[in-house]
């Protein structure tokens, strides 16, 4: 029996709509939880007067409670893209293509001008691969990061791996064939607040590459030198995995806090900021600290800890 053309058209459109709603590959199944109305109200109040665009995603892992502001919108990653690069590195290590503890030889041609530690090395100096990855994440060393991106097979290989894990929006743009328009708009990488946060959750839960690889990546993410923003609002005796990013018109941070009452993850990214200063009082930095403090107090209301009164003067 033939179906009317209109019915066929409707069926096709319905199928396409369903396909478009799926953002996860079969290899990864995640429940995004339910909105926490109290937290949602607090978060919305925090960002309403910000001079620029803000994206935020928060999830309390034990309960599934969430809060979100433009969490599915694309934002620049800045240095947060180094987490996907690390994922690519450990994929190659797990395949035996790279030796995690093997020595590499630094070459001056790798230098990315700036204040990097690796960039200060002498030509032909030796350094272990594990230390290069550590520098990429811990101190956000750009020379180390670009070297790792190349060793991981480049942006194309890293992007394919992200797609395999169901991340449809997070991509490496810089030095990646075919992505120049994205690079011009978003810079080194692009992501959504939700995807970047859930990437940390995947690592935390041992589902990235392998349980052993996930554990090592998580340990690295807990050794962050740049602790003056979101991490400054979490007690120093509470472990947190994180990565930060900053360029002139964007400030960002993704954090997974191993809080006493249960883990919570959040990612905050700004773009089109009016305030392009590099002072601690930059509006983006202030917002990151404010959100981190709000979340700690929301999820740990019994805690009597607060940042030291002179913490603002310390840095």
Q: What is the mean pLDDT of residues 23-42?
A: 68
Q: What is the CATH number of the domain that holds 225?
A: 3.40.710.10
Of residues 18 and 262, more confidence is placed in 262
Confidence class of residue 314 from pLDDT cuts 50, 70 and 90? very low
**What is the structure's pLDDT at 248?**
97
Of residues 6 and 307, more confidence is placed in 307
**What is the structure's pLDDT at 135?**
98
46 domain residue, yes or no: yes
121 domain residue, yes or no: no
253 to each of 101, 219, 229, 300, 307, how far by Cα in Å? 29, 17, 8, 20, 19
Nearest to 171 by CA among 162, 197, 180, 150: 162
Confidence class of residue 116 from pLDDT cuts 50, 70 and 90? confident
Q: What is the mean pLDDT of residues 114-143?
A: 95
Q: What is the mean pLDDT of residues 58-84?
A: 98
Each residue of 157-173: pLDDT tens digit? 999 999 999 999 999 99
Q: What is the mean pLDDT of residues 62-70?
A: 97
Q: Number of C-alpha atoms within 13 angstroms, CB side, residue 45?
A: 7
Percent with pLDDT over 90 in the chain: 83
61 domain residue, yes or no: yes
Q: Which tokens belong to 280?
A: 């601690």
Distance CA 294, CA 287 (A): 10
Indicate the range of 1-5, 131-135, 185-189, 228-232 predicted with least confidence.
Answer: 1-5
For residue 251, pLDDT beyond 90: yes
69 domain residue, yes or no: yes
**What is the structure's pLDDT at 32?**
60
Of residues 113 and 234, more confidence is placed in 234
Question: Would the pTM of this model clear 0.95, i.e. be above it?
Answer: no
Distance CA 253, CA 261 (A): 22
Q: Where are the alpha helices (DSSP H) in the chain?
A: 5-21, 37-47, 82-94, 129-138, 142-151, 154-164, 180-186, 193-204, 211-221, 283-299, 311-314
15 domain residue, yes or no: no
120 domain residue, yes or no: no
Each residue of 72-99: pLDDT tens digit? 999 999 999 999 999 999 999 999 999 9
The backbone torsions φ and ψ at residue 65, rounded to the nearest 5 degrees and listed phi first, read -70, 140
Each residue of 209-227: pLDDT tens digit? 999 999 999 999 999 999 9
Indicate the range of 31-35, 173-177, 210-214, 259-263 predicted with least confidence.
Answer: 31-35
283 domain residue, yes or no: yes
53 to each of 60, 74, 156, how far by Cα in Å? 24, 11, 29
310 domain residue, yes or no: no
| Counted domains in the chain | 1
Q: Which tokens belong to 92?
A: 């190659």
Domain that holds residue 282: 32-73+192-299
């Amino acid at each position: 029996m033939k179906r009317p053309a209109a019915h066929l058209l409707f069926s096709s459109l319905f199928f396409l709509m369903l396909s478009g709603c799926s953002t996860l590959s079969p290899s990864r199944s995640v429940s995004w939880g339910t909105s926490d109305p109290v937290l949602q109200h607090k978060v919305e109040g925090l960002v309403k007067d910000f001079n620029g665009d803000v994206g935020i995603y928060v999830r309390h892992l034990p309960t599934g409670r969430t809060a979100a502001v433009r969490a599915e919108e694309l934002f620049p990653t800045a240095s947060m893209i180094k987490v996907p690069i690390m994922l690519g590195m450990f994929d190659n290590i797990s395949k035996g293509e790279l030796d995690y503890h093997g020595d590499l030889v630094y070459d001056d041609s790798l230098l990315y001008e700036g204040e990097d530690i690796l960039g200060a090395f002498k030509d032909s100096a030796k350094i272990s691969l594990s230390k290069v990855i550590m520098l990429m994440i811990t101190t956000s060393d750009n020379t180390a990061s670009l070297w790792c991106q190349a060793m991981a097979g480049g942006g194309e290989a890293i992007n394919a791996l992200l797609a395999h894990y169901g991340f449809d929006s997070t991509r490496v743009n810089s030095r990646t064939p075919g992505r120049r328009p994205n690079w011009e708009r978003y810079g080194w990488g692009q992501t959504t607040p939700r995807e970047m946060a859930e990437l940390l959750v995947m690592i935390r839960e041992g589902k990235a590459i392998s349980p052993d690889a996930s554990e090592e990546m998580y340990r690295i993410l807990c050794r962050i030198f740049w602790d003056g923003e979101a991490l400054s609002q979490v007690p120093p005796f509470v472990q947190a995995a994180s990565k930060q990013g900053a360029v002139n018109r964007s400030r960002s941070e993704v954090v997974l806090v191993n809080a006493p009452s249960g883990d919570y993850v959040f990612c905050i990214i700004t773009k089109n900021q009016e305030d392009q200063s590099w002072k601690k009082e930059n509006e983006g930095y202030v917002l990151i600290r404010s959100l981190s403090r709000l979340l700690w107090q929301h999820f740990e209301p019994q805690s009597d800890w607060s940042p030291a009164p002179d913490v603002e003067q310390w840095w």
